Amino acid sequence: MKKIVLTGGGTSGHVTPNIALLPALKREGFTIHYIGSRTGMEKELILKEGIPYNEISAGKLRRYFDLKNVTDVFRVAGGFMQAYSVLGRLKPSVVFSKGGFVSCPVVWAAWLRRIPVIIHESDMTPGLTNKLSIPFAKAVCYTFPETESHLKGKKSIRTGIPIREGLLQGDRRTGRKICGFKDLKPVIMVIGGSLGSEKINSAVREILDKLLRDFNVCHICGKGNVREELKSKPGYMQFEYVNEEQPHLYAAADLVVSRAGATVLFELLALKKPNLLIPLSKAASRGDQILNAASFEKQGFSKVLAEEKLSGESLYEAIYNLWRDKDQYTAAMMNNEDDSGTAAVMKVIKKYMK
């Protein structure tokens, strides 16, 4: 029996590529299980897909000094023992890890049990958890062309990133209906990230009245960030988070303003959506989104606005410049040959499973 364990969590970018693989895995006859944290967002997302979910404790791995590092060492150790037990019970043919701090104990336990591990790195440079996991993997799949220089050895394979099949099947009318838009103004879709973005949310709302003169605005603002006083504003729709609605909202969008996580970048590329990227600054991240955005800007796929320069005024100017030049960005994306990485990742999984 072909059996696979998927792992990864912490943000949607560590989960949605796993979800994108599910239809292909099912077509190939795999029995699928997931290992994730008890409280991470991956639990709700995976349970919605009807996949058996196995909980382990998880501790964050940090590069900097923090008193929580002491207690988190014990959480990581506990997660390792729990993952070792789960893998012993499930006896999978292969483990596929999408990263995030919950994945390290799973990868280490799989290696100890001689279960082949495939790792996928979405960003241009590997994050800390993948750096700690790569020595224990049979193969490392990666997304950006530039990533090859950061991965040494023959086990790195450029596959691209799996994109959900349903994402390409959205309906524009349905998306506009979900948002309650009554006119035919073009639609700006704002994606602050699965955890939201206070800076982007504030800048959008600062210029909202000006934007609504020419656009409708679909704003995915993150959990707890919906503003009650703006709910009845014509042409403006807020969401904490979207899942089933997302293909239709994408279809309705004429422009997208987004963070620069790798998953959303390659979704925008697949959908050929002109986009403005506002990557997380180094003050709030390790700088991976800055590199991701720079790659897409260099290839002509995206316009970039640094978070340090973000204000209502700079955002307004960047959006209108993007709208003016939208055709050149669409043309660059149309000339790109990269597609969903699902087939390439599946090929690697089948090659290395025991």
- Do 279 and 257 meet the contact criterion of CB atoms below 8 Å apart? no
| Nearest-angstrom CA–CA distance, 243 and 80 | 31
According to the model, what pLDDT value does residue 118 have?
A: 98
Q: How many CB atoms lie within 10 A of CB 352?
A: 17
Strand-strand pairing, 31-37 and 117-121: unpaired
Q: Cα separation of 344 and 333, whole Å?
A: 20
Q: Edge-to-edge, what's the strand order for the sheet holding 302-304?
A: 236-239, 216-220, 187-191, 255-258, 275-277, 302-304
Report the pLDDT value the prediction gives residue 62, as an integer from 0 to 100. Answer: 47
Torsion of CA 143, 343, 353, 127, to 10 degrees: 20
pLDDT in tens, the chain (354 residues): 799 999 999 887 889 999 999 999 999 999 999 999 998 889 999 999 999 999 998 756 545 445 455 556 768 888 999 999 999 999 999 999 999 889 999 999 999 999 999 999 998 888 888 999 999 999 999 999 889 888 877 689 999 999 998 999 999 999 999 999 999 999 999 998 655 588 999 999 999 999 999 999 999 998 899 999 999 999 999 999 888 899 999 999 999 999 999 999 999 999 999 999 999 987 667 788 999 999 999 999 999 999 999 999 999 999 999 999 999 999 999 998 777 799 999 999 999 998
Burial of 270 (0-12, 13-18, 19+ CB in 10 A): buried
Cα-based angle 43, 130, 279 (whole degrees, multiple of 5): 80
pLDDT score, position 260:
93
What's the pLDDT at 71? 58
- CA separation for the pair 94, 278 (Å, rounded): 36
- Nearest-angstrom CA–CA distance, 311 and 202: 9
d(CA 166, CA 217): 23
* 14: nearest Cα among 353, 351, 288, 347: 288
Domains by residue range for the chain, with CATH: 3-163+340-352 (3.40.50.2000), 166-334 (3.40.50.2000)
| Structure confidence at residue 69 (pLDDT) | 52
Backbone angles phi, psi at 317, to 5 degrees: -65, -45
